Structure formats: structure tokens, C-alpha cells
Amino acid sequence: MEPKLLLTPGPTPIPPQVTHAMSAGMIGHRSSDFTSLMENVQSSIRPLFGTDHPVAILTSSGTSALETSMVNLVEPEEAVLIIVSGAFGDRFRSIAKSYPYEVHIYEVPWGEGLDIEDFKDFLASKQNIKAVFSQACETSTAVVHPINALGKLVKDYSEETLFVVDGVSAVGGMKFDMKADAIDCLVTGSQKALMLPPGLAFVAMNNTARKRASNNKLPRFYLDINKYFDALEDHSTPFTPAVSLIQGLDQVLSLYNEEGIEKVFDRHLAMRNMLRAGLKALDLELLVEDAYASPTVTAFKSDENELSHIKDALKNKHGITIAGGQKHLKGRILRIGHMGYMFPKDMLTVLAALEAILSKHRNKQYYGKALAAAQEAYYE
Ligand SMILES: Cc1ncc(COP(=O)(O)O)c(C=O)c1O
């Protein structure tokens, strides 16, 4: 009977009001009800992307938004530069390699922040880069990249070069300003800080990117973003959308507006700070330095046996699910998601459970230590 706690970096818990909205009953996607729903959604979703431009909604997972950004903004034979700092930078790389592009990769060691000066030199050594692709938050390592500084660098390199940002584990959990950050295209998915089930992908583009997309000769059909923007003019979608998810999205956006968007971002930062303080108090080493620590996901290290024990005990004894590492970080880290419908009290819950697990496992007294550190970080 005890409610379970899902603290993974996606999918994330759904607020009951959103579940309720999603079960309101089906409406036709060509009906006036749907048109007014889309109109509402459009006006309230833009602040989360930090833009006044329309945000296209696709019925597909986050990866489709990554692919959409690339196939609409880059022509065959053109050069792209991809920042690869984890599993999702790798995803951009795999997408790029599936198309006839010239692909340049800037590798960042997993778990480390991007060195902006080094990146500047790397970019300067490449010619005719048409677009630079980066994660805002690399979910697999819990690193955030310096998006604002990157955006400026890209535009210093060339005003013609587009800056494309994967905000899948960031939009809704951290502030964006597409203009100030020089982002031409920002994408995300529904199942992270947008507090929805998986199934929607979002693509925001400024006018420069829209123009590039409408002139692009690369063959594409479902992922042709022009179709979505054209349909948005009539508050519609080109294909049958996931109507219930959009009904839920409307509710998500009113919940975020009720809380206040700045407060939502502050809450995410507060959860990060609490968790980092608490984990340190448990003698757990954080994977990422403070300067690059994500407001939406936190990774910590330990030996493989201890990590496996922690993950199992959290799930089986405390009803809390967290995530393991991906690819070569498997068995080396655990990741705790703190985005969307998650709150400071959830951080206290997971830290209290970790105190109990580690006190027993290490035969050491941890009771109260992580909680005190987290509460100091939150209240002081
Ligand atoms: C940063 C980032 N990009 C892309 C994706 C891929 O999204 P999806 O699994 O919805 O296709 C994820 C999913 O975890 C992600 O965290």
C-alpha cells in the first residue's frame, strides 16, 4: 500500500492532477476543443523554452526531436560539430552518422565539464561548420554544459552557424533564454521535467533555423518540421497527435504557472544542493564538480558491490527507484533524478533511506548526518 518513489532521471512521476487531465476523455484532434487546447498550450509552453517562437509538438520520443533538429537544419554533405560528453552526445553522433554529413566530434571525458577555451580552439580549427550540437544536461553523467558561453562562441565563429541544444533533461528544470543564449533550436521530450509520460517530443526554432529548415533539400517525411510549424498556424498538428498527453501537458503548464516558473527552477537547484550536501555527508563521492552539477540529476560513485547493494536496498526495502550508470559508467555510478514532480522532501526521504542502508552496510553510524547536511543546504 505504501506509495513508491520514482527518482529516476526519466521517466519521472506524474502529478495526480495531470493523470486526471489525461483521462478526461478523448476529443477529436480536428475539433475546436483541440484547437483551443493547442492554443492554450502554445501560449504557456514558450516561457519554459525561453522563447516567443512557436514550439512544435511531435508524437514520438525525445530522440526524434534530436533527429528532427539535425535533418531539418543540416543539408547533405554539410559539416556538423557534435559535443560528445556522454550517452546522449553519442546519440547525436549516431544520428549524424546515419546521414550524408561530414561529422566532427569534440569529446569531453564523461563526468567532466566542458573546457570552453579548449572548445574554442577546436572550433576555430574546423571550417564551414554549419551547426554545433550539444546537450544542455548530459543525463548519463549529470553534467550541465555552459550553454550561454557556448552559444556566444558559436556565433563568434560564424553568425551562419546554428547552435542546437538537446534540452531533454533540462527544459522545465532549468532556465533557458534562446535569444540571450544564442540557441537556434532547442528540443526536449515529455517524460522528464515536463512531468508527463513518454511520447511527446518538442522542437523550438528561431526564424534563422526555420528558414534553414524550409530550404533544406534532405528527404524527410514524418520529421519534416515545416509540416508541424505550418499546422501550428491553425493550432493543429499534421498527424494524429497523442491527444491525452497534450491534455496532460495543458495541466502541467498550469501547475508550473501556479508555482511560478522561476520558483520551479529554484526548486530544482535547491534539490540539487540538498542532495549533493547529503551524499557528501554519507562519504559518497560525487561524479561531477560543483561548477557543472545539474539541477535535474545527480550522480555518485562507489565500488560496484556497494552501488548494487544501495540500488537494490533502496528499491526492495524503501520502495525508491534510482538509476544506474550507462555504457562504461555502468557499475561505477548511480544517478538520482530530481526533476519535475519531485520536491525537497523527496530528497530527505532518499537521503534518510541511504543513511539506513549505509549505516548497516558499512557498520558505521550515519543516522541524521545526510539529513542535517541537506537541511542546512536548504534552510540556511
Ligand atoms: C539528454 C537526453 N537526450 C536524449 C534522450 C533520448 O530521449 P528518448 O529516450 O525519449 O528518445 C534522453 C533520454 O533519456 C536524454 O536524457
Q: Is 62 in the pocket of ligand 1 (CB under 6 A)?
A: yes
pLDDT in tens, 239-266: 999 999 999 999 999 999 999 999 999 9
User: What integer pLDDT is reported at residue 341 of this predicted model?
Assistant: 98
Q: Is the peptide bond before 11 cis (omega within 30 degrees of 0)?
A: yes
Amino acid at 45: I
**Hey, how many other C-beta atoms are within 10 angstroms of the C-beta on 285?**
11
User: What integer pLDDT is reported at residue 317 of this predicted model?
Assistant: 98
Question: 286 with 53: CB under 8 angstroms?
Answer: no
Beta strands in 11-128 (DSSP E): 55-59, 79-84, 102-107
CA of 169 to the centre of ligand 1 (A): 7
Q: How far is CA 326 from CA 16, 271, 298, 332, 362, in A?
A: 30, 23, 14, 9, 26
Question: 271 with 247: CB under 8 angstroms?
Answer: no
Query: What is d(CA 52, CA 192) in angstroms, rounded to the nearest whole number?
Result: 22
Of 60, 88, 93, 326, the one to substitute when testing ligand 1's pocket (max ligand atoms within 8 A of C-beta) is 88
Query: What is d(CA 249, CA 235) in angstroms, rounded to the nearest whole number?
Result: 15
Give the atom of ligand 1 at the shortest distance from the alpha carbon of 170. Answer: 1
**Hey, how many other C-beta atoms are within 10 angstroms of the C-beta on 301?**
17
Angle at 341 between CA 337 and CA 347, to 5 degrees: 50
CA of 28 to the centre of ligand 1 (A): 29
Burial group, residue 233, by CB count within 10 angstroms (0-12, 13-18, 19+): exposed
Q: Is 337 in the pocket of ligand 1 (CB under 6 A)?
A: no
What domains can you pick out in the chain, each with its CATH number?
A: 5-10+260-379 (3.90.1150.10), 16-258 (3.40.640.10)
Query: What is d(CA 274, CA 281) in angstroms, rounded to the nearest whole number?
Result: 11
User: What integer pLDDT is reported at residue 325 of this predicted model?
Assistant: 98
Q: Is 139 in the pocket of ligand 1 (CB under 6 A)?
A: yes
Of 58, 168, 176, 294, the one to substitute when testing ligand 1's pocket (max ligand atoms within 8 A of C-beta) is 168
CA of 313 to the centre of ligand 1 (A): 27
Which residue has the CA at smallest separation from atom 2 of ligand 1?
Answer: 168
User: What integer pLDDT is reported at residue 46 of this predicted model?
Assistant: 98
Q: Is 88 in the pocket of ligand 1 (CB under 6 A)?
A: yes
Where the chain has pLDDT below 50, the residues are none
Q: Is 166 in the pocket of ligand 1 (CB under 6 A)?
A: yes
Of 68, 140, 169, 187, the one to substitute when testing ligand 1's pocket (max ligand atoms within 8 A of C-beta) is 169
User: What integer pLDDT is reported at residue 177 of this predicted model?
Assistant: 98
Strands 185-189 and 200-205: antiparallel
The grid coordinates listed for 179 are: 535569444
User: What integer pLDDT is reported at residue 156 of this predicted model?
Assistant: 98
Give the atom of ligand 1 at the shortest distance from the alpha carbon of 91. Answer: 4
Of 8, 58, 60, 63, the one to substitute when testing ligand 1's pocket (max ligand atoms within 8 A of C-beta) is 63
Length of the chain equals: 380
